[in-house]
Amino acid sequence: MGSIAKKILQDHMVEGTFEIGKEIGIKIDQTLTQDATGTMAYLQFEAMKLDRVKTELSVSFVDHNTLQTDFKNPDDHRYLQSVAAKFGIKFSRPGNGICHQVFLERFARPGKTLVGSDSHTPTAGGMGQIAIGVGGLDVAVAMGGGLFYLKTPKIVGIKLTGQLQEYVTAKDVILEVLRRISVKGGVGKILEYFGPGIKTLSVPERATITNMGAETGATTSIFPSDEVTRQFLKLEGREDQWVEIPAGSDEDYDEIIEIDLSAIEPLVAKPHSPGNVVPLSELIGMKVDQVAIGSCTNSSLKDLETVAALLKGKKIAPHTVLGIAPGSRQVLEQIARDGALANIVSSGARILESACGPCIGMGFAPKTNATVVRTFNRNFFGRTGNKTANAYLTSPEVAVAAAVFGEFTDPKKLGTYPTFTFPDEIHIDDSMILEPPTDGSEIEIIRGPNIAPLPEFEPLPENFEEVEVVMKVEDNITTDHIMPAGAKILPLRSNLPEISKHVFEQIDPDFYGRAMKAKENKGGAIIAAENYGQGSSREHAALAPMYLGIKFKIAKSFARIHRDNLVNFGIVPLTFENPDDYDKINQGDKLAILSIATALKEGSKPIIVKNLTQNIEIPVTYDLSERDREIILAGGKLTYVSSKLK
């Protein structure tokens, strides 16, 4: 049998050696983008001056920036639609649903490779697919036929035994994984699920687990493709795309984590981290102000049919607000046709658009000092759209109980647990997915006034002299800290000069002014602790600092996608050789690195950082392949790859 992740990666490997820590280059079959990251990704694809995408399938989704308060978002949607038509990309229109839910339903295929410009792309791993979240530029390169490079990961087998008890869910499974390994325990690893317990989990349940595996820092997560997978594809009218990929066994993995499903209890992630997991029993009685059910983690047909059954004949608590967002138009139409939607509406719930919405702070913000229950995958500080709110992550079942009783409570109080079975058939309508014409050469790309040209990418200089430390931060800084989401900022994703004004504003409103002042001199640097850049794949968390003159970042460790994005935009990611040296650099210090270009060219390390302010020398190192170093020396991946993809 063997590891399914290893099999798929080796089947797609074009370059490198499959050895843990060694770089490999794999062929990518499919790509996806969403509108918050897609505008920049397609601007980058345009810059490569190619006529057509070269993947088997590329899909552009609109699901993030659907709150249209002015011209910016709808202008971007028209840009994305015209680009898709020109270059041979399917276009999922606004209202068709969240990219990961729609992709799982209509496009995910066992045994294929997928990269997506969203960190929750591993959702498709629930279908037996290698699906990896990356920066938009990596997606653009894959669409151009370029390989995707990654370090050969460790493959961790998560052995599931037993069966979930009533009111315990797939969400609790991944929260249990997070409780055990933390938000950085998956870095450099693929989480592969096997064991007799997997047969008890449907594809949507598996997808919930692989989706939120992103919060561990894992490269991706994956389930086998079995009879459960085949039945889901049959329901979606795609049974002909099924291939069997059997589960591995104990000897196939570099490490094994065993989880007895029957021993799991309802769990909750407390503010402000998905890894801050405690039993629900510790929170019983805490008043809840707002509940939100949906997101790419828990908005499937199974989720919402269960929610509807639990809400039937009940009303939400007077002091609690409930909002529900179906994950796709297919899900919304199905619950409307079978009557489940009526139960939801009758309860007093607000029906939100089939989009990301409140998960990214795009509407449905809570009141001041609110306690918020969400079935989402992240509860980072400020992500609700309100910095005073405290967000807790739960299963839909626990969320319904909180909405009905107005406080954290045992969901068993809702009554008999509803048994969900998939219908024999569902209504399938792909009319909201626009097919590109065979020849897009005559298509005119539509650009609104908010779309700004890409900046110039300059080669790495030989020396950094008197670079100012414009920011020093602690452990687990997220991409939300660096480049916030929300209704105010997301519409600026295609306008780099404007969005750059918001870098780090969540934690330091003065950052922009300091960075611009440093840029006018010798440039800036950022000093960080552990797991810097965890969270979203948003490349703007690297691209905007680059625009602001950030030359290098020194951290104790970097999250995978953010480190890759720094490389892509020519910012040098350095790590302390001695982590305690983090304490030897202060915000405002002036640093110098001499002969850095030569050092990267030759692959020599450590590199000496001179703290000119404190008159000390600090050795730093880097974890960069030869190709990574060449990209940085060129000033970024766009200049590096453009000539190679003609």
Q: What is the pLDDT of residues 531-586, one digit of tens each?
A: 999 987 789 999 999 999 999 999 999 998 899 999 999 999 999 999 999 999 99
What CA–CA distance (Å, rounded) separates 42 from 63? 16
Is 64 a residue of the active site? yes
Catalytic annotation, pick one of 75, 118, 252, 480: 118
Residue 334 CB contacts under 8 Å (≥ 6 apart), including other chains: 301, 340, 423, 426, 427
Task: Give Cα 241 to chain centroid, integer Å.
Answer: 26
What CA–CA distance (Å, rounded) separates 118 from 134? 6
What CA–CA distance (Å, rounded) separates 267 from 165? 13
Cβ distance 412 to 67 under 8 Å? no
DSSP-derived 3-state class of residue 488: coil
Cβ distance 572 to 596 under 8 Å? yes
pLDDT tens per residue, range 438-477: 999 999 999 999 998 888 888 999 999 999 999 999 998 9
pLDDT at 486: 83
Catalytic annotation, pick one of 82, 395, 494, 536: 536
Q: What tokens were used for 242?
A: 């099924």
- Planar angle of CA 574, 484, 449, nearest 5 degrees: 110
Residue 485 clears pLDDT 60, i.e. is over it: yes
DSSP run (H or E) holding 40: helix 35-47
What CA–CA distance (Å, rounded) separates 12 from 9? 5
Residue 330: count other Cβ atoms within 10 Å of its Cβ: 25
Task: Confirm whether 4-263 and 464-638 share one CATH topology.
Answer: no
Q: Provide the whole-model pTM.
A: 0.91
Topology at the third CATH level for domain 4-263:
Aconitase; domain 3 (3.30.499)
**Percentages helix, strand, coil for the chain, rounded to the nearest 5?**
35, 20, 45
pLDDT at 381: 87
Q: Which residue has the higher pLDDT, 271 or 387?
A: 271
Report the DSSP pairing between strands 90-92 and 433-434: antiparallel
Q: Where are the beta strands (DSSP E) in 182-248?
A: 189-194, 220-222
pLDDT at 382: 86
For residues 193-214, average pLDDT: 97
What CA–CA distance (Å, rounded) separates 203 from 230? 10
The DSSP secondary-structure symbol of 127 reads: G
Q: What tokens were used for 122?
A: 């591993």
Cβ distance 257 to 158 under 8 Å? yes
Catalytic annotation, pick one of 29, 35, 63, 628: 63
The model's confidence at residue 433, banded by pLDDT at 50, 70 and 90, is: very high
User: Cis omega (within 30 of 0) on the bond before 455?
Assistant: no
Is 508 a residue of the active site? no
Catalytic annotation, pick one of 64, 374, 540, 560: 64
What CA–CA distance (Å, rounded) separates 79 from 237? 31
pLDDT at 536: 79
Task: Give Cα 506 to chain centroid, integer Å.
Answer: 20
What CA–CA distance (Å, rounded) separates 625 from 614? 32
Residue 404 CB contacts under 8 Å (≥ 6 apart), including other chains: 311, 314, 315, 316, 317, 347, 414
- Planar angle of CA 583, 511, 491, nearest 5 degrees: 130
Burial 359-387 (b: 16+ CB within 10 A, else e): bbbbbbbbeeebbbbbbbbbbbbbbbbbe
What are the C-alpha distances in Å from 628 to residues 477, 569, 620?
A: 23, 11, 17
Is 493 a residue of the active site? no
What are the backbone dihedrals phi and psi of residue 596, each rounded to the nearest 5 degrees, phi first? Answer: -70, -35
For residues 590-594, average pLDDT: 96
Is 480 a residue of the active site? no
Burial 170-205 (b: 16+ CB within 10 A, else e): bbbbbbbbbbebbbbbbbbbbbbbbbebbeebbbbb
For residues 347-372, average pLDDT: 93
What are the C-alpha distances in Å from 497 to residues 455, 513, 548, 583?
A: 9, 13, 9, 33
CATH of domain 464-638: 3.20.19.10
Residue 646 clears pLDDT 60, i.e. is over it: no
Cβ distance 440 to 481 under 8 Å? no
User: Domain-by-domain residue ranges, the chain?
Assistant: 4-263, 267-413, 464-638
Is 410 a residue of the active site? no
What CA–CA distance (Å, rounded) separates 495 from 511? 19
Q: What tokens were used for 569?
A: 């935009």
Cα dihedral 422, 425, 429, 430 sign:
positive
Is 138 a residue of the active site? no
What CA–CA distance (Å, rounded) separates 186 from 189? 5
Residue 602 clears pLDDT 70, i.e. is over it: yes
pLDDT at 643: 65
Cβ distance 238 to 230 under 8 Å? no
Topology at the third CATH level for domain 267-413:
Aconitase; domain 3 (3.30.499)
pLDDT tens per residue, range 122-151: 999 999 999 999 989 999 999 999 999 999
Q: Where are the beta strands (DSSP E) in 177-320?
A: 189-194, 220-222, 255-260, 267-269, 277-279, 290-293
pLDDT tens per residue, range 20-32: 999 999 999 999 9
**Nearest C-alpha neighbor of 386 from the set 372, 398, 397:** 372
pLDDT tens per residue, range 39-63: 999 999 998 999 999 999 999 999 9
pLDDT at 639: 86
Task: Give Cα 10 to chain centroid, integer Å.
Answer: 24
pLDDT at 645: 63
